[in-house]
Amino acid sequence: MDTWFPTFRRLAQPSIPFPSLWSRYANLAQRRALLRLIAVAAEENLPLSPLLESWAADERRAQKHRLLRLADQLKTGTPLPDAIEAVPGLLRDEDILAIRFGAQSGTLSATLRATLDESKSALTDSPSPIRRAIVYVCTFLLLAFLVIAFLQIKIVPEFEKILSDFDMEPPLALLWSIGFARFFVNYWWLGALAGGVLLWSMFSARLGRFIRYSILGRLSRSARELRSAEVLQKLGIAAQTGRPLPGVLSTLARYHFDPIARYKLLFVRNEIEQGADAWHSLAAVDLLSPAEVNALATSERVGNRPWVLKQLAFSKRRRTMRRLNRMAELVLPLIVGLLGIFVLFQALSVFLPLTRFITGLL
């Protein structure tokens, strides 16, 4: 049960005061700094635990205790990938996979350097349209809930009473507003259930991964494209260092955080052991497109396969992120329009009764 609720287990530690009020995850700069420190320690053959303790002396609050816990794990002889997994919120699943892949294949420094190059532009780029859209919608819904609750509790009952005293028919907008409020009162538990599942997925490691990868991963083409780019990048690093392809696929199939990607990689590994072509096997599980298979087949004859793998991974990731950003830019105006219609509906439910009072008294 410890692996199911890592955050709840952390709440019970008396050495960490009020951890629930802190940032649950390290930010991008902190993750990059840790990856760079691990890469330097691997390149210079330095012990990582003293470096982490020295860094923790300059950190504050949650990140300070995360680094100290990682240093304690390493002191007890825990392997680096297992030690990082034992400290929730320290690195992303993608970063942990890169460390485990590098440790297993002997390419830790090269793998971490490639991971750092991926996230380099994220420190200076403007906020993602996807993140802006999510923040906007969540903020609006919170404020709208407070305003509508006040209207339904204080204003609408008074309107109903006044209209009843003067024998006036309530406006259609007011009736719809009352019907919407009654629907919410009758089925509020559905929203509470969805919120409970979302909250549970934030604190439960297994449920959160199941929702992100097993459910959303099957429905989202962009998620599949990003997983494919990640696999191609690892294959490019292994090809550059001369590692055999079946061993690399075995490592990824065993340790990849996405269960769908694990099944696909295991299938490809088995196909290669049976004598099948690696690139056509990857294409059979939708990890490569026919054009990419042709490019890789040509690269084997030219002798630049590592470069081609890295370029395919980079272009696939960049194309996917651009598609997601364009989608967010198109969806945001639609969401704003729908929210505007909802605001107009609420305004009509308030002002139409007022106009009916005025015209009825004249």
Res 189: pLDDT: 82
pLDDT in tens, 70-84: 889 888 888 888 888
Choice among 139-153, 192-206, 262-276, 339-353 with the minimum mean pLDDT: 192-206
pLDDT the model gives residue 1: 43
174 and 322 part of one domain: yes
Together in a domain, 83 and 163: no
The CATH number of whichever domain residue 98 belongs to comes to 1.20.81.30
Whether residue 246 sits in one domain with residue 190: yes
Three-state DSSP state, 23: coil
- In this structure, the dihedral spanned by the alpha carbons of residues 46, 257, 204 and 216, taken in order and rounded to 10 degrees, is 140
Domain contains 1: no
Q: What is the pLDDT of residues 112-137, one digit of tens each?
A: 888 887 766 544 444 466 677 777 77
Half-sphere exposure of 304 (CA within 13 A, CB side): 8
Q: Are residues 149 and 246 in the same domain?
A: yes
Residue 362 binned pLDDT confidence (cut-offs 50, 70, 90): low
Clarify whether residues 114 and 182 are in a common domain. no
pLDDT single digits (tens) 286-300: 888 888 888 888 887
Range of the domain at 138: 126-362
Please indicate, yes or no, if residue 102 is contained in any of the structural domains. Answer: yes
The reply to whether 63 and 138 lie within a common domain is no
Amino acid identity of residue 276, one-letter, is A
What confidence category does residue 18 fall into, taking pLDDT thresholds of 50, 70 and 90?
very low
- Give pLDDT, residue 336: 83
Q: How many domains does the chain have?
A: 2
What is the average per-residue pLDDT within 327-348? Answer: 83
Helix extents (H) in 151-285: 156-165, 172-203, 205-209, 216-219, 221-240, 245-255, 259-273, 278-284
CA distance 328 to 340: 18
User: Hey, what amino acid is at 102?
Assistant: G
The single residue listed with the structure tokens 């780019």 is 229
Sign of CA pseudo-dihedral 43, 48, 50, 52: positive
Q: Does residue 170 carry a pLDDT above 70? A: yes
Burial-class residue 40 by CB neighbours within 10 Å (0-12, 13-18, 19+). middle
149 shares a domain with 267: yes
Rounded to a whole number, what is the distance in angstroms from the first to the last CA of the chain?
Answer: 71
Q: For 316-324, what is the mean pLDDT?
A: 84
Q: To the nearest whole number, what is the mean pLDDT of the chain?
A: 78
Residue 263, both tokens: 């099944």
Out of 74, 93, 123, a domain closes at 123
Asked if residue 19 has pLDDT above 50, the reply is no
Torsion angle defined by CA atoms of residues 241, 37, 126 and 326, in that order, rounded to the nearest 10 degrees: 40
The CA-CA-CA angle for residues 205, 209, 119, to 5°, reads 100
Please check whether residues 300 and 202 belong to one and the same domain: yes
Look at residue 125 in the predicted model and tell me its pLDDT: 45
Together in a domain, 234 and 272: yes
- Is a pLDDT exceeding 80 seen at residue 275? yes
Q: Answer positive or negative: Cα dihedral of 41, 44, 50, 51.
A: negative
Per-residue pLDDT tens digits for 189-210: 887 787 777 766 655 556 556 6
Instruction: Give the per-residue pLDDT at 244.
Output: 83
- Cβ distance 13 to 19 under 8 Å? yes
The answer to pTM > 0.85 is no
Sorting pLDDT into bands at 50, 70 and 90, what band is 97? confident
